Structures are given as structure tokens and as C-alpha cells.
Amino acid sequence: GENVEQHPSTLSVQEGDSAVIKCTYSDSASNYFPWYKQELGKGPQLIIDIRSNVGEKKDQRIAVTLNKTAKHFSLHITETQPEDSAVYFCAAIVGAGSYQLTFGKGTKLSVIP
Amino acid sequence: DARVTQTPRDKVTEMGQEVTMRCQPILGHNTVFWYRQTMKQGLELLAYFRNRAPLDDSGMPKDRFSAEMPDATLATLKIQPSEPRDSAVYFCASGLLVSGVTEAFFGQGTRLTVV
């Protein structure tokens, strides 16, 4: 089955700096890679996703890149703000119509004012 | 603002008692997932429904867990009897198949504590 590794497990950045979280996956058939943000006491919130036919996707301060050859994808947050502090999860899904998301272990991001 | 609604938000129960968790998926979504989150295991898929039919419950302990969708607006996850190791946050997510993949949207979760 799919295996998703996520690094780092914790990340502290100064407000205004950039943050990068990286994930690797094992199954070359994986074709969908969402990122979730989870705040304390809340459910994971889908913030951005990318499909295997795209190399990069941006949404305001958030971007995701995908390298299919190396089987890794990354989340980039620019101009970080205190409200970006949360746990971020990457995930991967395999196959057309597939449903099972395999999650990374999460990255706790702290943005220091 | 469409969202997945879960009840209760918190549940404390004694070992051996029955626990029922409820989920109202986003209107129009035809897919429902149940996940369990623990510090040790992270997010684990317990069950999956499409068009109210259970398609995969391989992640659930069959002897004590059951999941159903009595109608399109309600999904339930039941544990009977509950055990301390069931203590976790249980999330329901709903989704829609879009261009070959299902985007999943999570509810706020039910925090279960079994004492």
C-alpha cells in the first residue's frame, strides 16, 4: 500500500518568513495530493491540493509543488502570519476513483510574532 | 457555508457502554468516510460509504464497531462495547468524486474518552 513520509515534524518560523513542509510517497500510481491544516480542537481543513498532471499550484500565500519522478511534494507558505500556526498534514491517494487517503504524520508549525 | 456536522463533540463513557456518533454530510456529497485520530497512529480510515453503500470497512474492529448510513443525511458509527483503547477523536468526512478523485471535507470531530 501507499506510504507517506512527512518532514519536519515541528517547524518554527518568524512572522513574515517562509515555511516549507516536504512529503514523499511510495506508490508511483498516486495521482492526488491534498494538504490539510488542523487547528487545535478542530477537524482537518483542506487548504490546497494538486493532481499528478500538474507540477505546481498556487493560492495566494500557499503553493504546492510536485515532483513525480522523485515522488515528493511540498507545501510552501510565504509571508507567514500567527494564524498560520497549526498542524499540517499531507496525503496521497492512489488510482482513478480511489478514495483512500494515506496521511503523513503531520508538521506542527509555529509562527512566532 | 456548507460543512460536515458531527455530534456529540465530546463523549465520556464507561468501559462496556455503547457509544453512537453521528454525522451529517455536506448536502449533495455522495461519499462519507469515518476516520480515527490518535497521537500514536495519526489519521486512520475506519469505513467508507459511497451512495450510502458501505464499500470498505476493513479498518474497523468488526467485533465491536459498526457503521451505517440510514439515509443520505445521516451516517452513524457505533461502538459496543466500548474499551479504553477506543479513546480517540473520530472524524467524519464527506466528499464528491471530481475528475477521478474524491476530495474529502472533515467535520469537527467527536472526542471520545472511555474510562
Q: Do A97 and B4 touch (CB under 8 A)?
A: no
pLDDT at A14 over 80: yes
pLDDT, tens only, B51-87: 999 888 888 988 999 999 999 999 999 999 999 999 9
Instruction: Tell me what the mean pLDDT of segment B16-45 comes to.
Output: 95
Q: Do B97 and A36 touch (CB under 8 A)?
A: no
Residue B14 is predicted with a pLDDT of 97
Residue B56 is predicted with a pLDDT of 84
pLDDT at A67 over 80: yes
User: Which residues from chain A sit within 8 angstroms of residue B43, using beta carbons?
Assistant: 44, 89, 101, 103
Question: What is the least distance, in Å, from the CA of B61 to any CA of chain A?
Answer: 18
Beta-strand relationship, A30-38 and A86-94: antiparallel
Interface probe with A: pick from B101, B102, B105, most Cβ of A within 10 Å: B101
**C-alpha to C-alpha distance for A52 and A94, rounded to whole angstroms:** 10
Task: Return the C-alpha torsion angle A107, A109, B1, B6, nearest 10.
Answer: 50
Q: Do B101 and A105 touch (CB under 8 A)?
A: no
Task: Name the residue of chain A whose CA is nearest to B91's CA.
Answer: A43
Q: Do B42 and A103 touch (CB under 8 A)?
A: yes
Residue A42 is predicted with a pLDDT of 95
**C-alpha to C-alpha distance for B114 and B107, rounded to whole angstroms:** 21
Beta-strand relationship, A72-77 and B65-71: unpaired
CA A58-A37-B100 angle, to 5 degrees, is: 65
User: Which residues from chain B sit within 8 angstroms of residue A51, using beta carbons?
Assistant: 99, 101
| Residue scoring higher pLDDT (B102 or A47) | A47
Please enumerate in sequence order all residues whose Cβ is within 8 A of that of B58, keeping only pairs 6 or more positions apart, or say none. Answer: none
pLDDT at A83 over 80: yes
pLDDT at A97 over 70: no
Q: Which residue is associated with the grid cell 458531527?
A: B6
pLDDT at A98 over 80: no
Instruction: Tell me what the mean pLDDT of segment A64-89 comes to.
Output: 97
**C-alpha to C-alpha distance for A92 and A103, rounded to whole angstroms:** 7
Say if residues A88 and B96 touch (Cβ distance below 8 Å): no
Is B84 in a helix, a strand, or coil? helix
pLDDT at A96 over 70: no
Task: Return the C-alpha torsion angle A9, A13, A19, A22, nearest 10.
Answer: -20
Question: What is the least distance, in Å, from the CA of A103 to any CA of chain B?
Answer: 7
Mean model confidence pLDDT for chain A: 93
Number of separate helices (H) and strands (E) present in chain B: 0, 11
- DSSP per-residue letters across A14-77: ETTS-EEEEEEES-TTEEEEEEEEE-TTS--EEEEEEETT-SEEEETTEEEEEETTTTEEEEEE
Q: Which of B50, B55, B108 sits opposite A42 (nearest CB)?
A: B108
Instruction: Tell me what the mean pLDDT of segment B37-63 comes to.
Output: 90
Share of chain A above pLDDT 70, in %: 97
**C-alpha to C-alpha distance for B44 and A103, rounded to whole angstroms:** 8
DSSP state of B25: P
R_g over Cα of chain B: 13
